[in-house]
Amino acid sequence: MKYFINHTPKILSIKFNLIITFLFILWVSPSGVEASDFKAISRQNVAQIIITSEKNNKYIGENENPTIVYHNTIISSKNVEVPRVAILLPLSGKYKKLGQSMLNAAQLALFHFAGKNFELLPLDTKGTINGARVAGATAIREGAELILGPVFNTAVKAIESITSQSGITVLAFSSDYTVAGNNIFTMGFLPSEQVRRIVKFSIERGIRRFALIAPNNNYGQVVYNALRSTVNLYGATLTSEVLYDTNTKNFSPIIRGLANFDMRQRMLTQEKSQLLNQNNNAAKKALLALNGVQTIGELPFDALLIADGGERLRSIAALLPHYDLDPKKVKMLGTGQWDTGGLGSEPALLGGWFSSPSSKGRREFVIRYENIYGETPHRLATLAYDATALAAVFAQSNKDDRQINSLAKTQFFRDMNITSPRGFLGLDGIFRFSKKGYVERGLSVFEIKMRGIKLISPAPQNFFSQDKG
């Protein structure tokens, strides 16, 4: 079964109303951010989406899709063609909640940006390689001129042979830059960018020696390579690194070893023994000063990059004070995985820095999403919003030059300058695509505070300033 989200502003809601007052993407010029014909405005759309099936136009059962509705009506006029975009998401299976959240976001962008006629074709990858392959083939067969998604790197690889043969452009949601190229562009948040931003920021503030804790997987390897290359570029040093198994439950041996805890404890024991043997007032004062001290001796690093999030990050953070890794002496650093909230409850992370996309646009989006859907969107939902908005904007560009006739099919995305060096402004700040296919983003630096996070270094407003810096 296939579905279309057919955007027709005249249709009114009988399922639920979408009240939207937010419009976002801007073109970014080399000299600054400037709005083109698609400038930020405030307007209200009340739209209807009807749940239908392809064959008999009956309502779909709750087991198929409980909330959103897709209308499969294709514009029937012989003189009108409609830009058709496929979005490949895991709408069933293990990751269906993620897929639904991203589809909801795409739907919001559809009503913000799409013209009078615009079709979005949601296809279920089922969170599997084969499901992605089938969805990709369906997108091509149904005449999609642009594909948004899929999410996971394995799914992107699964559709590559299909999309490359057709020459269709893919805006994938993966954060794995290795799947980019061959007309596939990745929109995910690249950890390598985040590492370079936070390390450069730290070096500019006098930190020269770095250590790393990261999972031993593709993500951790990317972080490690980015950290090593960045410190070498700026004349700093990577003194220690630990890549742990992702199944690790007990981080004590890892933290203990990284902190040289046993050696530093032995140094403390030896120092106390020597002071006791001296038996004078100065020695007694020095011995008294060591009361409550766990270790002595300098650590071989000034900053520790913890490239993880969630429960593993919290488990690691809880052990840092136990092994005398004092955040007052060692600056704790993180990637975008720290951008989850609630880390202020971890004393070892207070004052820590991490890099992540700008949060202003995302905050506004979250509020509107929650008002409409009654739940918080998945962190990746902004990718679907920005990709859909970008597709809608490109579909409307140069529309006056398109002449429809019986012999030629309109190519709505023929003039899509996806690699424009000016870039774009989305919910997560400025972004652009390299010729190699991976995304480049302007990133902010935040500090962990007890009651949240504090912006301490804003993201650049345009790529001219970022390139110059």
Q: Return the CATH number at 241.
A: 3.40.50.2300
The answer, yes or no, to whether residue 66 has pLDDT greater than 80, is no
Same domain membership, residue 180 and residue 163: yes
430 and 338 share a domain? no
Mean pLDDT of the chain: 80
**395 shares its domain with 453:** no
Q: Over range 74-87, report the average pLDDT.
A: 62
pLDDT for res 37: 29
Question: Do 57 and 14 belong together in one domain?
Answer: yes
More confident residue, 113 or 348: 348
Give residue 122's pLDDT.
97
Cβ distance 321 to 227 under 8 Å?
A: no
User: Among candidates 148, 121, 162, 93, which has minimal Cα distance to 1?
Assistant: 121
Among 105-119, 142-156, 223-237, 250-264, which stretch is predicted with the lowest mean pLDDT?
105-119
237 and 137, same structural domain? no
Contact 77, 69 (CB under 8 A): no
pLDDT above 50 (res 60): no
Q: Is residue 369 domain-resident?
A: no
Instruction: Kindly state whether residues 297 and 263 are assigned to the same domain.
Output: yes
Domain with 277, as residue range(s), is 191-356+448-468
According to the model, what pLDDT value does residue 404 have? 44
| 180 domain residue, yes or no | yes
Same domain, 195 and 181: no
- The verdict on residue 374 lying in a domain is no
What average pLDDT score do residues 457-464 get?
90
Give the pLDDT mean for 195-219: 97
Question: How much of the chain exceeds pLDDT 90, in percent?
Answer: 59
The closest of 408, 400, 368, 371 to 385, measured between CA atoms, is: 368
Phi and psi (nearest 5°) for 447?
-120, 135
Contact by Cβ (8 Å): 238, 231? yes
* 78 belongs to a structural domain: yes
Cis peptide before 150 (omega within 30 of 0): yes
Is 56 domain-assigned?
Answer: yes
209 three-state secondary structure? strand
Average pLDDT over residues 83-105: 96
User: Higher-confidence residue: 46 or 346?
Assistant: 346
Helices (H), 330-454: 360-373, 381-396
| In a shared domain, residues 197 and 291 | yes
Q: What is the phi/psi pair of residue 5, to 5°? A: -95, 105
pLDDT at 395 over 70: yes
pLDDT-derived band at 283, boundaries 50, 70, 90: confident
| Host H or E run for residue 214 | strand 209-215
- Residue 18 or residue 411, greater confidence: 411
Whether residue 62 is predicted with pLDDT greater than 60 in this model: the reply is no
334 in Cβ contact with 307 (< 8 Å) = yes
Residue type, 379: R
Helix axes 191-204, 218-233, angle to 10 degrees: 30
Measured in degrees and rounded to the nearest 5, phi and psi for residue 325 equal: -100, 90
Q: What is the pLDDT of residue 47?
A: 27
pLDDT number for residue 19: 29
Is the domain of 461 the same as that of 424? no
For 51-55, 87-91, 241-245, 450-454, which range has the lowest pLDDT when averaged over its residues? 51-55
Exposed, middle or buried, 199 (CB in 10 Å: 0-12/13-18/19+)?
buried
Indicate whether 288 and 196 sit together in one domain.
yes
Is position 351 within any domain? yes
Report the distance separating Cα 141 and Cα 121, nearest Å: 12
Reported as a pLDDT band with limits 50, 70 and 90, residue 175 is very high
Work out the average pLDDT over 285-293: 78
Q: What is the mean pLDDT of residues 199-205?
A: 97
| pLDDT beyond 50 at 237 | yes
Q: For 342-347, what is the mean pLDDT? A: 91
Predicted TM-score of the model (pTM): 0.79
Position 44 scores a pLDDT of 27
The predicted structure's pLDDT at residue 157: 96
Residue 36 three-state SS:
coil
pLDDT on residue 123 = 97
Q: How many domains does the chain have?
A: 2
In a domain, 364, yes or no: no
Cα–Cα distance measured from residue 372 to residue 381, given in angstroms and rounded to the nearest whole number: 14
As a whole number of angstroms, the distance between CA 266 and CA 307 comes to: 30
What confidence score (pLDDT) does residue 76 get?
30
* Mean pLDDT value across residues 215-223: 95
Output the pLDDT for position 359. 84
In this structure, the answer to whether residues 71 and 149 fall within a common structural domain is yes
Which residues touch 330 (CB under 8 Å, ≥6 apart)?
299, 301, 302, 303, 304
At residue 466, the pLDDT reads: 65
Average pLDDT of the segment spanning 384-404? 76
Does residue 17 surpass a pLDDT of 60?
A: no
Pair 352, 399 in one domain: no
Q: Is residue 219 part of a domain?
A: yes
